Amino acid sequence: MDEKQSTIVIVSNRLPVKIVRTGKKSELIPGSGGLVTAFAPVLRDRGGIWIGWDGDASGQSHKKLFTKESTAIGYLLRPVSLTPLEVQLYYEDFSNGTLWPLFHDFLDRCQFQPETWDMYCSVNKKFAHAVANNSNPGDLIWVQDYHLMLVGKCCAELGIKRKTVFFLHIPFPPWDLFMRLPWCKEIIDGILHYDLIGFQTERDRWNFIRCVRRLFPGALVSGPQRSQLIEYDGRITRVGAFPISIDFEGFNQHASSQEVADEAWYIHERLPERKLVLGVDRLDYTKGILERLKAFEILLEKYPDIHDKINFIQVVVPSRTNVKEYQEMKCTIDETVGRINGRFTHHDWVPIHYIYRNVSRRELVAYYRTSEIALITPLKDGMNLIAKEYCASSVETDGVLILSEFAGAAQQMGKSSLLVNPFHVEAVADQLHKAYYMDEGERKSRMRKLRAEVRRNNIFRWMEHFLSAAGMPLPKPHSTSTDSSDD
């Protein structure tokens, strides 16, 4: 390694940037998504290295571009190049076609093919080589998510002695589902090579421990629930739940800014006397977009009293646009929106406003701030940062959060939101009606509690908790968050 010694090396499937080509020139632009939102402020604050795939499926190397530009991003980026076949088998087929549906309880969508598993193992090894080339013995290697569950074991096999820790951003499935995976034992064995494993919720941690007990009866599980130890094959792994969060003050301040206030005013000015219901999701079957549209349709059917007085704004962010299944899902959403609007639109009232594109951070925060109700109903979700961002941006403190009980966020935010089963569309419609008529006192009291929760358990606290469990010195205290409650 030629750069200065680093203390934290983040390893994730994708680097938090996109390569954009304009004519002959290529440049890096910051990407969007859960991981970037979570880590960028922290790495910028204290420095570090981020290793990941550069996102180019052609296998072309972009090392020079990264060397030149990555320092401008605020931390070092080290790209891993993948061949088209690796992208297909490791990323599209095994990570997205097997692990993603399995871990979100969609067994019927899983494909089980030995060649995709073989490629998953071989790409995990490739990432371990990148770790070897870009880290020093004192560093902490922090591996992210389901694409790279074997990197810790691969590092050990390469003889690299580093502290390696792992965080799973998606749910961990119940054992009877997980055991359907032909390579379930290999995966648990791989994960048990990390020194620390972090899950989003206690439920995920518990599911994992049950799998360990079933598959490795000789493993010794001890310690208090919050910080359990698993002793197996001469190694000790710590396991805990670390619910991820957001930069509360960042969203709070942006939502309070003049540019967002202007945009929020503009959105509502064009929809006067209406309450806005907001949904924001990456296009994915786990997010429950169709079920949510159905719930909204039932609301309009069952409660004519709110016709003309409500608008549902659904933002769908394009995702996996080259995959047929996702293209079909988009067509079904387009048709459903068209059908519901065709059924209920009259005069100047079009009930559903459907936005299918990436939105700027300013626009997103303006929608958060100005929407009276957020309808966040994934069928299953590791955490769901949208729910937390909505509360942090609700600076008037009177938004109502309707939240799926199957989002990880429900564990912290369930009490003060309106909790729903997203599969029970009639009940979701009833909760929407309740939210519409909720009085100001109750709205404010609930939102105050939600904001206090997200303000306290923010992304910096998450990082501190995780690093402290990893046995690393804590980063300097971040002063953006105060516990004094103006809300």
For ligand GDG, the closer CB: 352 or 407: 407
Alpha helix (H) ranges present in 174-303? 175-178, 184-191, 202-215, 248-256, 258-269, 289-302
Q: Which of 11, 267, 317, 429 binds ligand GDG (CB under 6 A)?
A: 317
For ligand GDG, the closer CB: 288 or 351: 288
| Whether 263 contacts 257, CB under 8 Å | no
Asked whether position 400 contacts ligand GDG by CB under 6 A, the answer is: no
**3-class state of residue 172 by DSSP:** coil
Facing residues of 11 across strands?
Answer: 51, 143
For ligand GDG, the closer CB: 52 or 135: 52
Q: Which of 12, 37, 237, 377 binds ligand GDG (CB under 6 A)?
A: 37
Query: CA 415, 418, 421: angle at the middle one, nearest 5?
Result: 105
Tell which residue, 392, 470, 397, 427, has the closest CA to residue 37. 392
**3-class state of residue 334 by DSSP:** helix
Asked whether position 358 contacts ligand GDG by CB under 6 A, the answer is: yes
Asked whether position 422 contacts ligand GDG by CB under 6 A, the answer is: no
Tell which residue, 93, 96, 100, has the closest CA to residue 116. 93
Q: Which of 179, 261, 359, 438 binds ligand GDG (CB under 6 A)?
A: 359
Q: Which of 32, 83, 88, 122 binds ligand GDG (CB under 6 A)?
A: 32
CB 24: neighbour CB atoms within 10 A?
Answer: 5
For ligand GDG, the closer CB: 65 or 470: 470
Q: Judged by CB under 6 A, how many residues of this single chain contact ligand GDG? A: 21
**Structure tokens belonging to residue 447:** 């939102």
Asked whether position 14 contacts ligand GDG by CB under 6 A, the answer is: no
Asked whether position 364 contacts ligand GDG by CB under 6 A, the answer is: yes
Query: Minimum distance from CB of 314 to ligand GDG (Å)?
Result: 13
| Whether 158 contacts 128, CB under 8 Å | yes
Q: Which residue is nearest to ligand GDG (CB)?
A: 34
- Map the footprint of ligand GDG across residues 238-277, applying CB under 6 A: 244
Q: Which of 162, 254, 275, 282 binds ligand GDG (CB under 6 A)?
A: 282
- Map the footprint of ligand GDG across residues 161-180, applying CB under 6 A: 169-170
**170 φ, ψ (degrees, to nearest 5):** -105, 170
Tell which residue, 371, 361, 369, has the closest CA to residue 31. 361
Facing residues of 222 across strands?
Answer: 229
Q: Which residues bind ligand GDG (CB under 6 A)?
A: 32-34, 37-38, 169-170, 244, 282, 317, 358-359, 361, 364, 381-386, 389
